[in-house]
Structure 1
Amino acid sequence: MSLPEQAEASYVRACALSDLDEDTPRRVELGGVPVSVVRTCGEVFAINDICSHANVSLSEGEVEDCQIECWLHGSSFDLRTGKPSGLPATRPVPVYPVKIVGDDVLVSVTQES
């Protein structure tokens, strides 16, 4: 299998695009990895669902301006980069590449951005 074929094979279906409400995170488990899939800012993002500060689910938080906020202590993470934009979190969380094919949202948890 060539390198591009391997990269294509690493994408798995996370959910249906039509199931994603704007600014409402959806938690999915992909190959044992907890992922929050978010439709916001005209795009779909996939970010590791576990806050790097408090080990809680980010999908239970609020989304605004391409940021997801941890519900426990209020740390926000950029959905494009995973970088925290405020304390108490200081470490980023992984973000994953997303592809839309028809109504399917495909995510590659083997390739971090």
Structure 2
Amino acid sequence: MPRRFEAEGVPVSLVLRGRELFAVHDVCSHSAVSLSAGEVEVEVDRCTVECWLHGSRFDLRTGRPLDPPATRPVPVYPVRVADGRVYARLAPPSAG
């Protein structure tokens, strides 16, 4: 399940998949709603978060939209865990 956090005023959605942690911008590029309110799909070769409003899915590794109506990627942030804390580099974000 995605969790929403704010870091330096930036909304970030964190998703834990097994031992992998992903950080993406927590605002859908199509409808400006929180992605952390959506569903996460975890399969062997796929890890996505779905926007709850219109159903667009975004790849958590790249931010790329996989379904319409979203056509623009969301920023993804490098993330690491050290000493029990989560660190995400917010600038510059990468998208797609």
* TM-score when normalising by structure 1: 0.76
| Equivalent residue letter for 1:105 | V
- 1:102 aligns with 83
Bigger RCO (CA 8 Å, 6+ sep): 1
* TM-score when normalising by structure 2: 0.89
Cα distance in 1 for partners of 2:27, 2:50 equals 11
Aligned length in residues: 90
Given candidates 24, 29, 45, the residue that maps to 2:6 is 29
Structure 1 gap segments, 5+ residues each: 1-23
Shift of 1:104: 1.0
- 1:10 aligns with none
- 2:64 aligns with 83
Q: Which has the higher helix share?
A: 1
Structure 1 ranges of 4+ moved more than 2 A: none
Shift of 1:102: 2.4
Structure 2 gap segments, 5+ residues each: none
| Equivalent residue letter for 2:29 | S
RMSD of aligned C-alpha atoms?
1.0
- 1:51 aligns with 28
| Equivalent residue letter for 2:57 | S
Shift of 1:41: 4.8
Identity fraction in percent: 59
